[in-house]
Chains A and B, each alone.
Chain A
Amino acid sequence: MTVASPAPHKMSARGVSVSYGDKQAVKDVSIDVDMDKVTAFIGPSGCGKSTFLRTFNRMNDTIASARVTGEITLDGEDIYSPDMDVVQLRARVGMVFQKPNPFPKSIFENVAYGPRIHGLASSKTDLEGIVERSLKRAGLWDEVKDRLSDSGTALSGGQQQRLCIARAIAVDPEVILMDEPASALDPIATAKIEELIHELRGRYAIVIVTHNMQQAARVSQRTAFFHLGQLVEYGETDNIFTAPREERTKDYITGRYG
């Protein structure tokens, strides 16, 4: 047996910059994301944290003017290399958006969408199993098990967002990106989402963008602070919030701006 090498990072970004036309939104950011950790990106609006998050599953590809430079790897593989199939990448790196966006289909069909397009279920029973398991993991099963054929858009905002998380889980991704997942929800729904993030940790590498610093402190183990497109500071959440190294981080978390 060989000596175990230090655990490689699940995803790594090296010198990543993103620009829209002439405007540079993210400047030279390097960061690592690990399997059993929740990583939070914080910073004032327009600091590039969401843009940067979208480079992790190449969602910036859908914006014609966006250009990404630098290197991002998933299990050591460059996700921007021509060999990387974007469909497979997104199956491995799922995403939950700021505003809940269930499809105008039934609850069941929303969760079954991913398994269907990726051919994950071999039979109807199999598919039902995946849907049930995903809804359970997303903490939504008990609320919807009797009305799986109702429209997903008829649920409350918080339930819709958990449905979107269930939908993302259903394709069994390795990484889940969450772009301000609770910013459109009320405090109770937000608490449920945060609780859910706790439960999902360990099974998936989770990256969450938030403008709510208490939320970052509550759910994450690592925090990255962005300002004006640059990564100002990145480290253990406890350290960032109690002993920030950078003046700008300190100003932001003490509420001096942002």
Chain B
Amino acid sequence: MNPFALSFVILGLGLIGWLTARARALRFDRGGAKRLHSLPAQHGWFVAMWTVLPPLLFLVVWSAVSPGLVRQTVLQSPTAAGLSDFAFERDSVLAQAREVAKNPYDTEADPLARQLAPVVRAARNRYAWTGTAAAALLAFAGAAFALSRIRPDFRARSKVERTLMMGLLVASLIAIFTTIGIFASLFWESTRFFSQVPITQFLFGTHWSPQVIDAKDPGASLGAVPLFWGTFFIGAVIAMLVAIPFGLMSAVYLTQYASATTRRWMKPTLEMLAGVPTVVYGYFAALTVAPAVRKLAVLLGDPFASSESALAAGLVMGVMIIPFVSSMADDSLAAVPTAMRDGSLAMGATTSETISRVLVPAALPGVVAGVLLAVSRAIGETMIVVMAASGAATITLNPLQSATTVTKQIVDLLTGEAEFDSPKTLAAFALGLTLFVITLLLNIVALRVVKKYREAYE
């Protein structure tokens, strides 16, 4: 039976278990007690959980284990004696046999594979039925066990609550394990890269041209410093020169000057900027801002200016980041006690003196944390730079020149024809790992700053 249908059957059994248990609980002899420990429905849930969870968990495990078992059985069959000892060839024939087992009219397959196909099919059927039977057995056993425990004084409520708590715990762990998994896979691929290219050459090399890699010395053209510089220059310098002043000033206006009505429409509008898909910013950068920047460069006396400038990408990225800075600054300014503001105003300070000398300094840790988070977002941003920045890896201080970023290069390295074990492709993972580590550190620092700051006022 296919696993999907089987799950439905198990859920059906669970429903029957629920109804049975509830009906039984409703008929309990209360023996004079006014209240039972658990509601009838909670007894129902207890039985339903015991009916559904063990077979489902078993099926998950089984679906992971059974392909290996099928393979074992097929390899031990007499027909498999003719298989090559060479692992690569053997796996290829087995894979074809699996295909033929699904689709017997595949005539182009290897003759041995065609012979093996019935064996594969038989083994598969056998394990499928074993699994189904075991799951059904587990469902019935679980139901019987749970039903046998149901008594008026049985504490079903506590058991159900506990199971729910475990379910929630698992849900929250999934995100954490995914993060760990991502990190592990990045780390694994990166170690493969660093076995071919020394880490120092990658981190401190200043020449980046992955299109022409010398097979004898791949590290010579995989020095990532120009990418780190470009990322820093576009994401942490140009973008922040836009985002910090505008974000901060809009937060100051919204918290200190704007009337309630103005704030009510202006704040959501500003926050809408954060909801615009980054690819739309990419269009805007490539089609509107970049040509304008090029014109400026021509006016400034560079007739051959590239339209793919660091400035265009950085400006648009800065605009994209404004709402992050603004909303963090807004929160921190709002968290400064009114007593500070009153104290300063009562000294005869003007509103702007109060803001610049008392409120902003008091809110500074929160603002700094907001900026760090914004930087970590900016340097991880991909679409804008893919569309507006160039691929030329140059180290330059001139914002009108082209520059490239880590994310843009990862995209370039992984698109098009690529072998998955060449230094060129593996370099993408090393770049990804570096980026991951940097943004992780920025986030940790930012969260620590925010936490410390919260403690100061509570």
A residues touching B (Cβ–Cβ < 8 Å)? 57, 59, 62, 86-91, 94-95, 97, 99, 101-105, 113-114, 117-118, 153, 164, 167-168, 171
CB distance from B63 to the nearest CB of A (A): 59
Determine if B347 and A114 form an interchain contact, defined as CB atoms under 8 angstroms apart: yes
Contact A101 B337 (CB under 8 A): yes
* Contact pick for A171, options B337, B339, B345, B347, CB 8 Å: B347
Binary interface profile of B, 355-369, with partner A (CB < 8 Å = 1, else 0)? 001100110000000
**One of B345, B361, B456 near A59 (C-beta < 8 A):** B345
Extra contacts, 13 of them, besides A94-B346, A101-B337, A103-B344 (Cβ < 8 A), are A59-B346, A91-B347, A94-B347, A97-B343, A99-B339, A102-B343, A103-B358, A113-B344, A114-B347, A153-B456, A167-B343, A168-B346, A168-B347
* Interface residues on chain B, size class: 10 to 19
Asked whether B362 lies within 8 Å of A103 as measured between CB atoms, the reply is yes
Report the Cα distance A121→B31, complex, angstroms.
88
Bound Cα distance A168, B343 (Å): 9
Interface: B350 (CB within 8 A): yes
By the criterion CB–CB under 8 Å, are A104 and B361 in contact? yes
Q: Is B161 an interface residue (CB 8 A)?
A: no
Asked if B340 is at the interface of the complex by the 8 Å CB criterion, the answer is yes
- Let me know if A101 and B348 touch, CB within 8 A: no
Q: Which residues, 330 to 389 on B, are CB-close (under 8 Å) to A?
A: 337, 339-350, 353, 357-358, 361-362
Name B348's contact: one of A62, A102, A114, A153 (CB within 8 Å): A114
Chain A: interface secondary structure?
Answer: helix
A218 to B347 CA separation, bound complex (whole angstroms): 27
Q: Is the CB of B350 within 8 A of A95?
A: no
Interface residues of B (CB under 8 A from A): 337, 339-350, 353, 357-358, 361-362, 456
Interface of B is mostly: helix
Check B348–A113 contact: CB distance below 8 A: no
Given contacts A101-B337, A103-B362, A104-B362, contact A164 B349 (CB under 8 A): no
- Cβ–Cβ < 8 Å partners of A91 in chain B: 347-348
Partner of B361, one of A87, A95, A102, A105: A105
**Complex Cα gap A95–B349 (Å):** 13
Q: How far is the CB of A118 from chain B (nearest CB, A)?
A: 6
Q: What are 6 A-to-B residue pairs whose CB atoms are below 8 Å?
A: A87-B350, A97-B342, A103-B361, A104-B362, A168-B346, A171-B347
CB of B249, distance to nearest CB on chain A (Å): 21
* CB-nearest residue of chain B to A99: B339
Q: Write out the residue numbers on chain A whose beta carbons fall within 8 Å of the beta carbon of B344.
A: 103, 113
Contact A95-B353, Cβ < 8 Å, known A104-B361, A104-B362? no
- Specify which chain A residues have a CB less than 8 angstroms from the CB of B346 in the assembled complex: 57, 59, 90, 94-95, 97, 168
CB distance from B259 to the nearest CB of A (A): 8
Please pick, from B337, B348, B357, the residue contacting A87 in the complex, using a CB distance under 8 A.
B348
- Of listed B337, B344, B348, B361, residue having the most chain A CB within 10 A: B348
Q: Which residue of B lies closest to A88 (CB)?
A: B348
**Chain A residues, CB < 8 A from B456:** 104, 153
* Complex partner residue of B342 from A101, A104, A117, CB under 8 angstroms: A101
Known: A103-B358, A104-B362. A62 touches B342 (CB 8 A): yes
Q: CB-CB < 8 A to A101: which residues of B? A: 337, 339-340, 342-343
Contacts A103-B358, A104-B361, A105-B361 known; A117 to B348 CB distance under 8 Å? yes
With contact pairs A101-B337, A103-B358, A104-B362 given, residues A90 and B343 touching in the complex (Cβ less than 8 Å): no
The CA-CA distance from A104 to B359 in the complex, in Å, is 9
**A117 in contact with B347 (CB, 8 Å):** yes
- Residues in A with CB closer than 8 Å to B345 are 59, 62, 90
Chain B positions within 8 Å of A167 at CB level: 343, 347
CA distance A171 to B348 in the complex (A): 9
Minimum CB–CB distance from A226 to chain B (whole Å) comes to 21
Interface centre among A89, A95, A102, A103 (most CB of B within 10 A): A103
Complex-state Cα separation, A99 to B344, whole angstroms? 14
Task: Give complex CA distance A164, B344 in Å.
Answer: 11
Task: Tell me, rounded to whole Å, the shortest Cβ–Cβ distance linking A94 to chain B.
Answer: 7
What is the CA–CA distance of A47 and B53 in the complex, to the nearest angstrom?
A: 65
Residues of A near B362 (CB, < 8 A) are 103-104
State A172–B358 Cα separation when bound (angstroms): 21
Docked pose: A255 CA to B169 CA in angstroms: 57
The winner among A88, A101, A105 for most chain B CB atoms within 10 A is A101
Complex Cα spacing A168 to B345, Å: 11
What's the nearest-Cβ distance from chain A to residue B290, in Å? 44
Cα A171 to Cα B349 with chains together (Å) = 11
Query: Who on chain B is nearest to A115 by CB?
Result: B347
Return chain B residues, CB-CB under 8 Å to A105.
Answer: 361
Contact A97 B348 (CB under 8 A): no
**Residues from chain B with Cβ under 8 Å of A90 in the complex:** 345-348
Residues of B within 8 A of A103 (CB): 340, 343-344, 358, 361-362
**Complex Cα distance A59/B349, Å?**
12
Do A117 and B339 touch (CB < 8 A)?
no
Q: Which residue of B lies closest to A89 (CB)?
A: B348
| A117 / chain B contacts, CB cutoff of 8 Å | 347-350, 353, 357
B343 lies within 8 A of A164 (CB)? yes
